[in-house]
Copies of this chain bind each other. A is one copy, B any other.
Amino acid sequence: MTPAPKSIDLAVIPGDGIGPEVTAEALKVLRAVLGDDVALESTEYPLGAQHWLATGETLPDETLTRLRGHDAILFGAVGAAPGDTRIPSGLIEREFLLKLRFSLDHFVNLRPSRLFDGVSSPLADPGAIDFVVVREGTEGPYTGNGGTLRGGTPHEVATEVSLNTAHGVERVVRDAFQRASARRGKLTLVHKHNVLVYAGHLWRRTVEAVALEFPEVTHDYLHVDAAMIFLVTDPSRFDVIVTDNLFGDIVTDLAAAVTGGIGLAASANLNMDRTAPSMFEPVHGSAPDIAGRQIADPTAAILSAALLLRHLGLDAQAGRIERAVEEDVATRTAGRGTAAVGDAIAAAVS
């Protein structure tokens, strides 16, 4: 157990689009729930697509070093408007977001999926949905390995290499078993081992080996394609899903959709060894089309702040935010603005 801190030194990266709006509400709720018990100091870092346009910087080494000094990072969203051709495609995602996750060794990308009372699912008969996805965050097909041979010619060959290590797989699998043990005791490995044999074999063997340490947890396996089917026909079958970086990306967006949309989906990029600060961000992107209009839902950002408190050992306060969100979404009326949602939840946790 991490002892509960007396103060939190937070880095805040509001980012682009709706990022600043939703982050402001998450901060508001954090201040409200911490009150005078825990001192909250926050430093804002201007980073993201707008920052790149203004300065040409994505994530300078010096900034990364300063970020390392904080207790945690609260992150909004980054990304250029879809039509903005001034920004090379994917640049901000790779040179900033993925660079942060990789540099700070965020090996557990934790994404809870819960269908709250009062939230409508696109599924006709969703049942009780309450699972977490433990997505590997530092390797797999996300390592940027690969290349292009004879680019732009009829003989072009483009490769992408998925890198998987015993070290990387084992630590995230163990984390997933720990979470399953503290929840309903059920873990599902999602992969595609019948085709991706080398990586698949490593993942399966690791799950079998780590399972021996957790006799109280049952585990099963689903190919990623079969997992798609269960996520829409029987999502209540899941408790903890553990999977690689790319499958995790795919599974968690579908999971967010069936639980009422990415406006409610929180995530944590965790360095469970605590050798660097963890980072907390809504699953959604910067949504430039609705930015600045106070219509974005800050709930995902607020729930990400709850994950932040839990990671820092402030479970009681995290629980208060989660219960306040639960009550708020159960009675929510359409058309309430971004700040109004934050105000309501902040009032409830004060």
The residues of A with any CB-CB pair to B shorter than 8 Å are 89-90, 93-94, 98, 120-125, 141-142, 144, 146-148, 150, 152-167, 170, 192-202, 205, 224-226, 228-229, 231-233, 246, 249-250, 252-254, 256-258, 261-262
6 cross-chain pairs, A with B, having the tightest CB-CB distances, nearest first: A90-B194, A225-B253, A156-B166, A228-B254, A158-B198, A160-B162
Residue contact B199 to A159, C-beta cutoff 8 Å: yes
A232-B250 in contact given A167-B154, A195-B90, A197-B90 (Cβ < 8 Å) = no
Instruction: State how many angstroms separate the Cβ of A225 from the closest Cβ of chain B.
Output: 4
Contact across chains for A199 and B158 when beta carbons are under 8 A apart: yes
Provided the pairs A162-B141, A162-B160 are in contact, do residues A228 and B201 lie with their beta carbons within 8 angstroms? no
A124-B122, A154-B166, A253-B229 known; A159+B195 contact, CB < 8 A: no
Q: Which of B94, B124, B165 contacts A157 (CB 8 A)?
A: B165
> Do A160 and B250 touch across chains, with their CB atoms under 8 A apart?
no
Starting from the known contacts A154-B166, A158-B202, A225-B252, 12 additional A-B residue pairs (CB-CB under 8 Å) come to A90-B200, A123-B123, A147-B198, A148-B198, A148-B201, A154-B170, A157-B166, A158-B165, A159-B163, A161-B161, A192-B249, A195-B246
Kindly provide the distance from the CB of A200 to the nearest chain B CB, expressed in whole angstroms. 8
Verify A94–B164 contact, CB threshold 8 A: no
**A162's closest neighbor in chain B, by CB?**
B160
Assembled-state Cα–Cα distance A190/B224 (Å): 17
Does A254 contact B257, Cβ atoms closer than 8 Å?
A: no
Cβ contact within 8 Å between B257 and A228: yes
Distance of A90 Cα from B159 Cα, bound (Å)? 23
Indicate which residue in B141, B198, B199, B200 contacts A195 across the interface (CB closer than 8 Å): B141
Residues of B close to A150: CB separation below 8 A: 166
Copies in the complex: 2
Pick from B167, B195, B252: contact of A94, CB below 8 A.
Answer: B195
* Closest beta carbon of chain B to A334's beta carbon, Å: 17
CA distance A229 to B141 in the complex (A): 21
Q: Identify the interface centre among A152, A196, A261, A262: most chain B CB within 10 Å of its CB.
A: A196
Query: Are A253 and B233 closer than 8 Å at their CB atoms?
Result: no
Residue pairs across A and B with Cβ atoms less than 8 A apart, 14 shown, are: A94-B197, A122-B233, A124-B124, A146-B198, A146-B199, A154-B166, A158-B199, A160-B164, A192-B249, A195-B246, A195-B249, A225-B252, A228-B250, A229-B257
B250 touches A250 (CB 8 A): yes
Residues of B within 8 A of A199 (CB): 146, 158-160
Cβ-defined contact, A159 with B198, below 8 A: yes
Instruction: Answer whether A249 and B225 are a contact pair too, CB < 8 Å, given A123-B123, A142-B195.
Output: yes
Chain B's closest residue to A140 (CB) is B160
Cβ contact within 8 Å between A250 and B233? no
Distance, CA A206 to CA B9, complexed state (A)? 48
Chain B residue with Cβ nearest A82: B221
A198 touches B160 (CB 8 A): yes
A146 (CB) vs chain B CBs: closest residue: B198
Scoring A194, A195, A226, A233 by chain B CB atoms within 10 A of each residue's CB, the highest score goes to A195
A158 proximity list for chain B (CB < 8 A) = 164-165, 198-199, 201-202
Task: Determine whether the beta carbon of B228 is less than 8 Å from that of A160.
Answer: no
Distance in Å from the Cβ of A146 to the closest Cβ of chain B?
A: 4
Best-buried of A89, A153, A232 by chain B (most CB within 10 Å): A232
